[in-house]
Chains A and B, each alone.
Chain A
Amino acid sequence: MAIQPAVLAETEPAEPAAGRLWLRALRKPLTLTGVIITLVFVVLAVVGPWIAPYDPSAVSDAATAPPSFAHWLGTTQNGQDILSQMLYGAQASMLVGLGSAVITTILSVLVGVTAGYLGGTSDELLSLLANVFLVLPGLPLTIILAAYLPHSGSLGIILVISLTGWAWGARVLRAQTLSLRKRDFVEAARATGERTSKIILRDILPNQLAVIAAAFLGTVTAAILTQASLAFLGLTDVTQWSWGTILYWAQADSALLTGSWWWFVPAGLAIALIGTALSLVNFGIDEFINPRLRQAGVGTKKAQRAQVSRTRTKRVKRAASRRSGPRQPRPVGTPFTADSTDVILEVRNLKVNYGAVTAVDDVSFTLRRGEVLGIAGESGSGKSTLAYAITRLHKPPAEIPQGEIRYTNADGSIVDVLAMDDEQLRAFRWEELSIVFQSAMHALNPIMRVGEQIEDALVAHRPGSTAPERAARVVELLGIVGIPADRANSYPHELSGGMRQRAMIAVGLALDPEIIVMDEPTTALDVVIQRQIIDKIMELKDRLGFSVVFITHDLSLLIEMSDTIAVMYGGKIVELAAAEDFHQRPQHPYSRGLLESFPTLSGPKRELSGIPGSPPDLRRLPSGCAFRPRCPVAFDACAEHEPELYQIGSSQAACLLYSSDHAVKIGETA
């Protein structure tokens, strides 16, 4: 077999590397402010004593004078210049802050990383030690230690603060190290033969820099505060100038009673400012560590507006769909056949954007009652985005600039799901359309009992129901999916994987919906359990008469269970056909390639080739047909024209081979 280059399309960096992300974090206004203020303080701490106009301890006649040109911050009771005291004090306070932070961080890293990486007895002992120190009240302990140290100069204070403060950072780092140690790349480094020390140095620590930095900055603030408290209480050497010492003397000389606000305001303000600055920087680091913090919240108007940005359809349609009075039952449907026209959902020209990237591009399809529509695609095909868009669960930055999702109500009227307001949408959700997610472990609320999670849908949509009625329904639903009734009081983590997924299906069936959208519901499960669940879903579908939109990458599974198959690639539907037709006569070259990629268990063994290259990056789609770079039968026009869905018999395929302009049939190309 010839060697094929793995790269067929030029790719630019998808995201800046970690280093450049730091710069991006800095650009946020709050973080930048924090950094600037911190730098100012650091500079002042260094040059303070040199630029101070007076000797801070020098007394003068201008006693208790408010701020003036001669003394910018006024004077103390003894005529000492407060500005000079502040500048000298900056050095001491910042020194204590930074010194304590350095030592504390070193201790935390040593203890935390060692405990986390080595595990076992050393971990237990170190953790116990850290927990004990954590719980012992810090400030009282510090006060007592400081009281015993002779003439607590800066070094003494630094040591005392470090001793009482290392435990918190150690605990955080230990937790981080534990989770990092389980990550595959650490195991991979071990499997390469790397030494433990190298692994810690090059794999563990670099990935913890953000946490270490955050802990460091937090400690600086805490240390400055603690030192100020100790100085204020007179427990440090009160002849050495620090911000806390200034406050000590202010208190001792009753600045409050003489109303000399200029005496104590600057010191406290300075502490507050540096503390705020460091917290703001920490905030920026937090957002860097946790990308979720960068998105807008669910409850915001911004989020809601983002959902549907295109113009709403006329009010007339909305009025017709408003449900008033008791719920109308839908006439019972007949079992689905290929030529059914009982349409329940029609998606027209749906487009979903993530900023400049189009994840779902002009997608249209119909779903009929009792039909199983399988949507197949790989990563980047847009299938999950489509699932979320249909149910209007997409979140910013996703938005829908164009398209309609037309749902047929029980009384035959048609409503556009995208045009619904909050109330209509809430009534529509779960009642008409429910969704089953991929991972039940994450989709079920971990602190709520399973039965209750079924019940709250009932409470929300059937306000007239009584508790016994709902309880009976819960038992009924669990029975339908094959879960024993006593499990209704279990929590999700107490159920096995297969049972959890079945519980999710029970939740989905709670209100007898017309459509159930399933997004890779069995991908994380064993093939044997998957078979059980698929069989159960099919049985329920036949019994209860709902339609299914089944989304997965497993094309073999779809062919077995679907009535109709839609294949997505690069955000578009590239083939739409009845399952059997698709299996026997796939039209699109991508479909063919995909079918060729699945090894079969039955039938003769044949040579498999797969498809060269990789699924496309939606940010940089090729011109013309998105599949062109990987297509074995591409020709020149494919780079210029984007194919539409052309009809071939009862199937549709988006390939120029089938457009009326190019009447080249498969098999006749050279």
Chain B
Amino acid sequence: MTAPVLEAVDVTKHFPVRGLIRRGGSRVVHAVDNVSLKLYAGRITALVGESGSGKSTLARLLAQLYPVTSGEIRLHGETVQATRGKAFREHVSKVQLILQDPFASFNPVASIASTLRRAVSIHHEDKRGPEQLAVIDDLLTQTNLVPPRQFTEKFPHELSGGQLQRVSIARALAASPDVFLADEPVSSLDVSIRLGILNLLRRLTEERDVAMLYVTHDIASARYFASDTAVMYAGEIVETGPSETVTQQAAHPYTQLLISSAPDPSRTDAKRVKDIGQPPSLISPPSGCRFHPRCPFALARCKQETPPTFQLADGHTARCWLYADNPEPAAPERADAQ
């Protein structure tokens, strides 16, 4: 395996809770805790989690929209601390973020051409006037919005969700980045057009040999779309591995819960992992393993100590005490599910 293009090394991000009057010991939101993730060129990595899991925050840390509290972000092997000014603009020219809601991602009073022109003038400083338009045409063509002139003079609300998301991707392409960070790129779109966008992203990844992070709450799409999958829970990564392995032989009990909760009519067995709890508070997360209050397999140890990441077979890892001695992934019927 070659070196990763962009990686997070043991990254932590805490947000202060804005109290009205600071009591002794200000409280923090533990958005991301000790997370490591690697993104490789030409491969799509999925980051799966529910809302509040920290996945969106991690994406923004990778994009340097916020600074990390501790840990490092490395681009092409070099540490970056580039949340402001020139360093930030340089980082952003290599790492581009695509947001979830296409209708919210565009200034409603600016035309498509006007918005794209801003991106082009930042990343192609040498081009002016008609040359910029040519670049815009090319970007729109690459995202299958043809003929491009049909779209340039329109305003965001005049396009459909799918078209607008393609413009979002075109805007990211203007920077010719090495990494795309797509934060739930299809969650706000109609089901029938999601695949078109996802296939476009996959094509771009392969053709341009860039790294792609696909943040989502839908683990089924991760299976199809990404070569690797990482699962996040309460600010921590609990399982990583090749997508097929993670979805077919899920090791961590949370992943198993996710998979069994997802609607899937083709699943013939009715085995459900029963969930007995609620999403945790990020201000005072549970001690030890953060999933232990909801885990049907919880041991005494899980409450006391946070498990490290255990290596299972073939790049499959899980952060669970169940694997301390035994590298076999646990099937749901191993312990008696309550």
Contact = CB atoms under 8 A, between A and B. Distances in A.
Interface in B157-188: 157-158, 160-163, 166, 168, 171, 174-175
A601 interface: yes
A192 B258 contact: no
B275 A555 contact: no
Given A202-B107, A206-B107, A194 B118 contact: yes
A6 B275 contact: no
Interface string B264-284: 111100001001001100000
Given A1-B199, A553-B190, A554-B263, A185 B105 contact: yes
B275 A531 contact: yes
Nearest to A3: B144
B224 A599 contact: yes
Contacts of A554: 191, 263
Interface stretch (B32-40, B91-99, B299-307, B324-332): B91-99
B106 interface: yes
A593 B192 contact: yes
A544 B121 CA distance: 64
Contact of B107 (A185, A555, A559): A185
A168 B119 CA distance: 36
A185 B218 CA distance: 24
B150 interface: yes
Contact of B267 (A191, A601, A612, A630): A601
Contacts of A294: none
Interface string B225-263: 100000000000000000010010000000001111111
Contacts of B123: 193
A598 B218 CA distance: 10
Contact of B110 (A202, A559, A613): A202
Q: How large is the interface on A (under 10, 10 to 19, 20 to 34, 35 or more residues)?
A: 35 or more
Contact of A610 (B51, B93, B104, B193): B193
B297 interface: no
A393 interface: no
Interface in B207-227: 217-221, 223-225
Contacts of B107: 185, 189, 202-203, 206-207
Interface string A170-191: 0000000000000111011111
B101 interface: yes
B226 to A, nearest CB: 11
Q: Which one of B143, B190, B199, B257 has the greatest number of beta carbons of chain A within 10 Å? A: B190
B247 A601 contact: yes
B93 A193 contact: yes
Interface stretch (A9-17, A93-101, A295-303, A415-423): A9-17
A622 interface: no
A667 interface: no
A597 B101 CA distance: 20
A135 interface: no
B219 A601 contact: yes
B194 interface: yes
Given A610-B195, A615-B192, A526 B51 contact: yes
A608 interface: yes
A190 B119 CA distance: 10
A583 B96 contact: no
Q: Which one of A3, A11, A183, A527 has the greatest number of beta carbons of chain B within 10 Å? A: A527
A13 B156 CA distance: 10
Contact of B108 (A5, A188, A207, A602): A207
Across the A-B interface, give the 9 residue pairs with the lowest CB-CB distance, nearest first: A610-B195, A184-B104, A531-B261, A559-B265, A556-B263, A557-B263, A611-B192, A193-B92, A378-B190
Interface of A: 1, 3-7, 11, 13-15, 17-18, 183-185, 187-194, 198, 202-203, 206-207, 378-379, 496, 498, 526-532, 553-557, 559-560, 583, 593-594, 597-603, 605, 608-615, 630
11 contacts: A6-B146, A18-B155, A185-B105, A187-B99, A193-B89, A194-B118, A526-B51, A527-B261, A601-B247, A610-B194, A615-B192
